[in-house]
Amino acid sequence: MFRPLAARASRGLKIANYWTIAQLSLGLLKTVRLLPADKALDFLDNAARRLGPLMGRHRTAMSNLRAAYPEKPEAELEAIARDMWGNMARLAGEYVFTDQLMRREPGAKLPSNVEIEGEEFFLRLRDAKGPHILFTGHVGNFELLPIVAAAYGLKVTALFRAPNNPFLAAELLEKRTESMGELVASGRGSAFQLARVLETNGNVGVLVDQKFRHGIPGTFFGRPCETSPLLAKLARQFDCPVHPARCIRLPGNRFRLELREKLDLPRTPTGTVDIAATTQLLNDTVEGWVREHPGQWMWFHKRWKLTGGKRRPGTRPSPTSVE
């Protein structure tokens, strides 16, 4: 009797905590919206650089940074972590100011604060018959990629993972849907939704740098990790091109978006896409991006936490289960 009551009380406290955090976060973002975009984003950046190191996730970020860069002095690692918090704050603020940041002059294809490398690939994928897969990581403002793709007339159905906080998740989904078009929430059934898009010669976008329970064993920054096989399995099933794409944050609230030529995917002796080798290739690609701009990646994720133990008989993880 007491155990169910305790469980309900615990869930109630957790929901109340989520609601409080959501109200404070959304209230802050509504307040900063009263400021000009540049000043508001600078304010959030500076505040996060001071407050971020006080959070428990900062310890996780520093632990990950020490393991990834054992040769770097502590002061440099701390600076990277502060850059990360600044990047995260700007990312949150940019949801509020998306309409201003993405405002285009009459006749212009893109806003003046966005640079493109690989415009020919955007145009080629727009005009070519699909299917195609685009992938990226949590670098810079990764949310701008589908927005810019849409500006070129390239329709991309993006897979996303909602925050654990349901109140923030609802707000975030509304904002994302307004600017990013078709979305698929990760979870059971999402792999089938993406497959249906590819079956109709559509294009899908996938983030590939999160920890995945019971995923494909591999390495990231030379450390063991588990990675989702979803993209590799879709590439094998449809034997379609896989293109890397990323966003790099530049000074002055500017961005450079890059879309590259399709990857040469590893193959098995029978000619099919090699799932494990392709998944590792994705890890290596994102690692290269992070090494170029380490302060623009989310180091506080428990990317290297291994599942451990055995899966319960008869259970399977969702194809997009991540932490």
What digits encode the pLDDT tens for the residues 83-119?
999 999 999 888 888 777 777 777 777 778 899 999 9
Which pLDDT score, from 0 to 100, does residue 320 have? 43
Q: What is the pLDDT of residue 240?
A: 96
Q: State the pairing for strand pair 216-220/157-160.
A: unpaired
Dihedral sign (CA 283, 284, 290, 293): negative
Average pLDDT rounded to a whole number, residues 290-298? 97
Residue 279 has pLDDT above 90, yes or no: yes
* Confidence band, pLDDT 50/70/90 cuts, at residue 182: confident
Least confident residue range of 120-134, 137-151, 181-195, 258-272: 181-195
Res 162: pLDDT: 60
Residues of the chain above pLDDT 70, percent: 81
The DSSP secondary-structure symbol of 262 reads P
Q: CA 200, CA 130: separation in Å to the nearest integer?
A: 8
pLDDT, mean of residues 215-222: 96
Q: Does position 236 have pLDDT exceeding 50, yes or no?
A: yes
User: For residues 308 and 116, what is the distance between their CA atoms, to the nearest angstrom?
Assistant: 42
Cβ–Cβ under 8 Å, residues 25 and 51? no
Q: Output the pLDDT for position 109.
A: 74
Q: Give the per-residue pLDDT at 86.
A: 97
